[in-house]
Amino acid sequence: MAFLPDEARSLPPPPLVNIGSVWLGLAGWVAALLDNGFNRRPVIRAGVHRQILFTTVGWFVGYYLAKRTQYVHAKLDRELLEYVRQHPEDFKAAGT
């Protein structure tokens, strides 16, 4: 997948219930409700299958965004620690 490099597979997966999944799942559900309202259908009772679909899509997009964020932060940490390892004279221990 171009969105997430293969080296991201070595990281532990984020929890299924994370803040991104919850918010985007809620946004998907609200989008389905708004679609019903704009098309003059009963807001909650009509298109329950669309509500479930939009919520599910939002949930998985949030999950993969959390996974991508975790990968980007791990990559940044790895690069910073490599820099510190290569330049020990710039990072002396406190008190010495």
| 11-66 confidence digits (pLDDT tens) | 999 999 999 999 999 999 999 999 999 999 999 999 999 999 999 999 999 999 99
Per-residue confidence (pLDDT) for residue 96, from 0 to 100: 57
pLDDT score at 51: 96
CA distances from 38 to 15, 32, 63, 78, 85 (A): 35, 10, 29, 48, 58
Question: Which of 1-5, 16-20, 43-47, 85-89 has the least mean pLDDT?
Answer: 1-5
User: What pLDDT was estimated at residue 90?
Assistant: 87
Whole-prediction pTM: 0.82
CB neighbours (10 Å) of residue 18? 17
